[in-house]
């Protein structure tokens, strides 16, 4: 009996029943095999792309000159270097039996002489132009006396470090060559979560190793001045400084860090976005350093609770906790306790957005800072100045102790008094009250004697009498915020009144 499977009158069950079960495996296997073939055909093939871009990815090894200690032995890697390895786990790894492939610092039994060149670490990089500019991580070349770049065709060049920026972990090298293979620079702003990416580098000194994965997240806040690209591409010691490449063969990032508890790959790796890396590289090429702007404020994250108490609909913005005396923000009228909502019209979603925006603004340019103050929005003018290296705001000492006023604790747990004339002169405050003692909710929040209270919700505190009257009218079912100044730093603290 001849039966057409697509048009025959018999069902598959009837056919199996009449023809025997020997037909079942062959017939039933058709659909899964076709489906599997379709799935396999849909997977990405990286081979052609890797053939194209691989020659532009380089191995970077660094060396240092032996500095003999008083005992005459060569310097040994210390605990600080090991901690850096565990944190970055890429270049500059400590050679141990658990770290195969890492070149030793010197042959065993061979005495090291003062000035001898010994291996320091191994990393990766990539050529960005045919005339020999190479990008890598700053921590790969940090502290190295000499840097060597090796291509896949085994040509080796001694590289010059044009500059390195620790804040973004980007370094620019130059090697003497012409018509060198180079990579195409992509657009990291256009990447999408879930797209395939490839990392090429020298993990454990195994040159031109290729690993693949997907972008797990964008704008991951782990850097001071830039959000990083998160992926699940396998990266290991030696991958640092190598390119993260999309399916079009374009560089979209520089592999820089991982999240790990052991120092090994754990499924989460981070890359510096190539857009930011190229901006840094341009400055390093021109001047050997990176200049950034600042406006002279110290900021903190704005919590949802504080935002609601101040009448803001969302928790977007940066809370100003300190204003540098005489700095651009101070001259422009920015005050501690202000919530910065926008910088030059660009919304501040997280506090980390502000230093990135300010840092990328041309020095000497005028900018407008939009702040939220006492229930109203203000536009304040500031002039961007240069961010000095290691510029940190200094907090002052505790406020002068005021004479305690014999009064009961209010519903927020404060006993306060007016500032003395000396305190007003020292702090340059026209209003506010000084905390004489705390209990209950205020004490639990860490507030203490000597703190100065400047604002309750959106109302400026003028004196102790007014402050206690305001507290007495607070809704005990809601949280409220007080602007607390300790030394030179001011911060909103949410508190809930306690009824007695």
Judge whether residue 393 has pLDDT over 60.
Answer: no
Judge whether residue 17 has pLDDT over 70.
Answer: no
Give the span between the Cα atoms of 352 and 371, in whole angstroms. Answer: 16
Judge whether residue 403 has pLDDT over 50.
Answer: no
Highest mean pLDDT among 199-208, 248-257, 417-426: 248-257
Radius of gyration of the chain (CA): 31
Name the average pLDDT for the chain: 79
Mean pLDDT of 6-22: 34
User: With bands split at pLDDT 50, 70 and 90, how would you rate the model's confidence at 55?
Assistant: very high
Give which of 247, 246, 240, 215 is closest to 230, Cα–Cα.
215
236-285 pLDDT, tens per residue?
888 999 999 999 999 999 999 887 766 667 788 999 999 999 999 999 99
**What tokens were used for 239?**
């991958």
Judge whether residue 22 has pLDDT over 50.
Answer: no
Binding-site entries for substrate: 139, 169, 238-240
**336 and 428 Cβ atoms separated by less than 8 Å:** no
Give the span between the Cα atoms of 85 and 128, in whole angstroms. Answer: 27
Name the active-site residue from 216, 240, 269, 352. 240
334-354 pLDDT, tens per residue?
999 999 999 999 999 888 889
Give the span between the Cα atoms of 90 and 210, in whole angstroms. Answer: 16
Binding-site entries: 139, 169, 238-240
HSE, CB side, 13 Å, CA atoms: give it for residue 352: 10
User: With bands split at pLDDT 50, 70 and 90, how would you rate the model's confidence at 387?
Assistant: confident
Name the active-site residue from 124, 139, 142, 216. 139
240 catalytic? Reply is yes
Structure confidence at residue 389 (pLDDT): 55
User: With bands split at pLDDT 50, 70 and 90, how would you rate the model's confidence at 4?
Assistant: very low
Judge whether residue 104 has pLDDT over 80.
Answer: no
Structure confidence at residue 207 (pLDDT): 85
Say what the pTM is: 0.63
Structure confidence at residue 226 (pLDDT): 77
Give the span between the Cα atoms of 32 and 55, in whole angstroms. Answer: 40
In the chain, pLDDT over 90 holds for what percent of residues?
45
294 CB contacts (<8 Å, ≥6 apart)? 328, 355, 358, 359, 384, 385, 386, 387, 388, 391
Structure confidence at residue 2 (pLDDT): 40
Burial class (CB in 10 A: 0-12, 13-18, 19+), 74: middle
In the chain, pLDDT over 70 holds for what percent of residues?
75
Domains in the chain: ranges and CATH: 45-290 (2.40.10.120), 293-386 (2.30.42.10), 414-495 (2.30.42.10)
480 catalytic? Reply is no
Structure confidence at residue 24 (pLDDT): 33
139 catalytic? Reply is yes
Q: Quick one: how many helices (H) and strands (E) in the chain?
A: 13, 27
Name the active-site residue from 142, 165, 169, 436. 169
Structure confidence at residue 263 (pLDDT): 63
User: With bands split at pLDDT 50, 70 and 90, how would you rate the model's confidence at 30?
Assistant: very low
Structure confidence at residue 408 (pLDDT): 75
């Amino acid at each position: 009996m001849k039966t057409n499977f697509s048009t025959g009158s018999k069902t598959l069950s009837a056919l199996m029943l009449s023809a025997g079960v020997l037909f079942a495996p062959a017939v039933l296997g058709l659909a899964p095999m076709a489906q599997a073939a379709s799935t396999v055909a849909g997977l990405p093939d990286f081979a052609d792309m890797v053939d194209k871009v691989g020659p532009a990815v380089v191995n970077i090894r660094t060396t240092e000159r032996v500095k003999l200690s008083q005992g005459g032995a060569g310097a040994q890697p210390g605990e600080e270097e090991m901690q850096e390895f565990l944190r970055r786990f890429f270049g500059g790894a400590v050679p141990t039996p658990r770290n195969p492939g890492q070149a030793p610092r010197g042959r065993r039994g061979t005495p090291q002489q003062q000035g001898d060149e010994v291996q320091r670490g191994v990393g990766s990089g990539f050529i960005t132009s045919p005339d020999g500019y190479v990008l890598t991580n700053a921590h790969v070349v940090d502290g190295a006396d000499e840097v060597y770049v090796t291509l896949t065709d085994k040509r080796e060049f001694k590289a010059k470090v044009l500059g390195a920026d620790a804040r973004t972990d980007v370094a620019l090298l130059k090697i003497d060559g012409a018509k060198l293979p180079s990579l195409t620079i992509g657009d990291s702003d256009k990447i999408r979560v879930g797209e395939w990416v490839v990392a090429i580098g020298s993990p454990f000194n195994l040159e031109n190793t290729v690993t693949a994965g997907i972008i797990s997240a964008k704008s991951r806040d782990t850097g001071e001045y830039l959000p990083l690209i998160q992926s699940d591409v396998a990266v290991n010691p030696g991958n640092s400084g190598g390119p993260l490449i999309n399916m079009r063969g374009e560089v979209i990032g520089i592999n820089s860090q991982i999240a790990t508890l052991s120092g090994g790959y754990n499924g989460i790796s981070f890359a510096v976005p190539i857009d930011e890396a190229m901006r840094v590289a341009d400055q390093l090429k021109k001047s050997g350093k990176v200049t950034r702007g600042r406006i002279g404020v110290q900021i903190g994250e704005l919590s949802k609770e504080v935002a609601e108490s101040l009448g803001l609909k969302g928790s977007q913005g940066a809370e100003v906790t300190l204003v540098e005396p005489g700095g651009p923000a101070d001259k422009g009228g920015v005050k501690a306790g202000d919530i910065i909502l926008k910088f030059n019209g660009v919304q501040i979603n997280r506090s980390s957005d502000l230093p990135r925006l300010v840092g990328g603004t041309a020095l000497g340019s005028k900018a407008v800072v939009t702040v939220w103050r006492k229930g109203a929005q203000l536009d304040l003018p500031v002039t961007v100045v240069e961010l000095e290296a290691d510029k940190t705001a200094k907090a002052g000492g505790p406020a002068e102790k005021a004479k305690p006023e014999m009064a009961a604790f209010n519903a927020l747990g404060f006993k306060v008094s007016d500032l003395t004339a000396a305190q007003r002169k020292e702090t340059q405050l026209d209003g506010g009250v000084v905390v004489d003692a705390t209990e209950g909710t205020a004490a639990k929040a860490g507030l203490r004697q000597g703190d100065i209270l400047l604002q309750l919700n959106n109302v400026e505190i003028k004196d102790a009498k007014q402050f206690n009257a305001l507290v007495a009218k607070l809704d005990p079912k809601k949280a409220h915020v007080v602007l607390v100044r300790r030394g030179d730093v001011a911060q909103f603290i949410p508190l809930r009144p306690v009824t007695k």
